[in-house]
Structure 1
Amino acid sequence: MPELSPTTRARVAAALRAQRIETASWAYANSGTRFKVFAQEGVPRDPYEKVADAAVVHRFTGVAPSVALHIPWDRVGDYADLARHAKEQGVALGAINANVFQDDDYRLGSVTNPDPAVRRKAVAHLLECVDVMDATGSRDLKLWFSDGINYPGQDDVRARQDRLAEALRETYGRLGGDQRMLLEYKLFEPAFYATDVPDWGTAYAHCLSLGERAQVVIDTGHHAPGTNIEFIVAVLLRAGKLGGFDFNSRFYADDDLMVGAADPFQLFRIMHEIVLADALRPEAGVAFMLDQCHNIEPKIPAVIRSVMNV
């Protein structure tokens, strides 16, 4: 392979320096498997300490200037104060991630639950997350739903799509003019017969009906084995509907491993499509985010390694 010319080398270096990769607050906290959370020494005890750890990653890499929050895991009394703390640390608060999958009420779903009272509770939380965005200055609301059914005939599949559309429409209507909704999808788990947002096509269809500020986010671990993720990236880029990534890696299912661990060349193929579309620039609007669960590695070094892999 011929050596890069000084001009090309300088152009590549400038592009890499300009790239922005958002880290996730939960990646700095204790994490585990479906069976146990494994404690590590020195993990953050609250959102303020998570932000401080994210700032360390940015100081070492120079390209991780924001940290995503997860509500209610990162709930605080004064979000404006948390944003000030982040600024003092040299970073900013990024995407706000909603959580409508942990309460007992959500056993049969959240926004698609057959019970109107449960659906109302779930939508209220999504609207609360937009309030948090207003207080922190965040641009992106990231939504992932564990909603679905485990058995044929358990519920009306089409009715669940109607309920989902209604919830998304109300939440989208609450967004401010510079705020976006990023809709994530997942092939399965915990709904093993039919997940309500199982693939990029379903997410794309809902986003298309909502408007320009609703876009699809790709979690690289949320696909069937052998899925051509770079093809999905290319199609969504062409349609102007790729809002961002949750970067991680997987061998079998949603393993949330360090990005590039399972198939580094897949990561290269994905980023190649991004570069071909001139979408690496922050101005292109694609949010490069990490969503990983570091059970073996120390937290900060693991996140640094993931940022560098991307």
Structure 2
Amino acid sequence: MTDAVRAALRAQRIELPSWAFGNSGTRFKVFAQAGVPRTPYEKIEDAAQVHRYTGVAPTVALHIPWDKVDDYTHLAAFAKEHGVGLGTINANVFQDNDYMLGSVTNPDPDVRRKATDHLLECVDIAAAVGVRDVKLWFSDGTNYPGQDSIRARQDRLAEALQQTYDALGEDQRLLLEYKLFEPAFYTTDVPDWGTAYVHCLRLGPKAQVVIDTGHHARVPTSSSSWRCCYARRSWARSTSTPASTPTTT
């Protein structure tokens, strides 16, 4: 290993997800283990220990409401005392029973309002602790033909993203995540990085695409992503600011 490689490895920064310190398992069962952190504070203590061992993991991403606390500034101060900082704030709109037919794309306006309010809550949390990035992932989709209007769902998604984007602070970013191979049974509302990219292009320079490469990518991006980019090209014309290229996580 050359000195340049060693220097590059020492200089890298890896943001640890708080949920990595919880019980793990498969999609079929979560296996309880002794010593697993019970609170966000205990997760931060474990993450801080990893950083002490490696020196390259100085921040911890939070997932709301998994890491919900009464006082986020106190949590940030606790993290600083342990030698780490808070990182990306991740929203969760995929576990509530109300989201059975979708969150921000749900045909029920009350459910959409609930989901969008949570996204705005995450923006507020990020602002309270001085964090730049708010990351959104949507499991929304349909399970059979005729369940809902695919076009209308894209419009609802765009509306929620716009409200969230408008709430960002000057130095904040919205990260729209696409997970490889995370489909609904019939259609998925963010089915590929192209869809995520077009939405970000419409929003502006503070919106970026994140691709979760941890879901076993097997083939290069298909032409469907490019078709998606052009399918709603009128959105892209509505902004004169080029969007950022996709990043990976």
TM-score above 0.5: yes
Provide structure 2 residue ranges, at least 5 long, that are not aligned to the other structure. 226-241
What residue is the counterpart of 1:147 in the other structure? 140
4+ residue runs of structure 1 moved beyond 6 angstroms?
Answer: none
Structure 1, residues 13-44: CA drift from partner, whole Å, max 9, x if none? Answer: 22222211101000001123233221111110
Query: Are the equivalent residues in 2 in contact too, given 1:25–1:68 (CA < 8 A)?
Result: yes
Query: Are the equivalent residues in 2 in contact too, given 1:186–1:223 (CA < 8 A)?
Result: no
Query: Are the equivalent residues in 2 in contact too, given 1:188–1:194 (CA < 8 A)?
Result: no
SS in structure 1 opposite 2:179?
coil
Deviation (angstroms), 1:198: 1.1
What residue is the counterpart of 1:103 in the other structure? 96
What residue is the counterpart of 1:80 in the other structure? 73
Q: Distance in 2 between matches of 1:18 and 1:152?
A: 50
Q: Are 2:25 and 1:32 equivalent residues in the alignment?
A: yes
Deviation (angstroms), 1:218: 1.0
Query: Are the equivalent residues in 2 in contact too, given 1:186–1:195 (CA < 8 A)?
Result: no
Q: Which of 235, 241, 244 is the aligned partner of 2:245?
A: 241
What residue is the counterpart of 1:65 in the other structure? 58
SS in structure 1 opposite 2:170?
coil
Q: Distance in 2 between matches of 1:57 and 1:150?
A: 41
Provide structure 1 residue ranges, at least 5 long, that are not aligned to the other structure. 233-237, 247-310
The size of the alignment, in residue pairs, is 231
Structure 1, residues 102-135: CA drift from partner, whole Å, max 9, x if none? Answer: 1110000000000000000000000000111012
Q: Distance in 2 between matches of 1:147 and 1:120?
A: 15
TM-score by length of 1: 0.71
SS in structure 2 opposite 1:218?
strand
Structure 1, residues 212-252: CA drift from partner, whole Å, max 9, x if none? Answer: 110000101346632359xx9xxxxx97323x433xxxxxx
Q: Distance in 2 between matches of 1:11 and 1:226?
A: 31
Shift in alpha-carbon separation, 1:185–1:177, aligned structure 2, 3 A: same
What residue is the counterpart of 2:3 in the other structure? 10
What residue is the counterpart of 2:87 in the other structure? 94
Q: Which of 39, 45, 52 is the aligned partner of 1:46?
A: 39
Structure with the larger RCO, 1 or 2 (CA within 8 Å, 6+ apart): 1
Q: Are 2:165 and 1:172 equivalent residues in the alignment?
A: yes
Please tell me the root mean square deviation across aligned C-alpha atoms, in Å. Answer: 2.0
What residue is the counterpart of 1:120 in the other structure? 113
Q: Distance in 1 between matches of 2:38 and 2:244?
A: 39
Q: Distance in 1 between matches of 2:80 and 2:135?
A: 22
Query: Are the equivalent residues in 2 in contact too, given 1:66–1:91 (CA < 8 A)?
Result: yes
Q: Distance in 1 between matches of 2:4 and 2:145?
A: 54
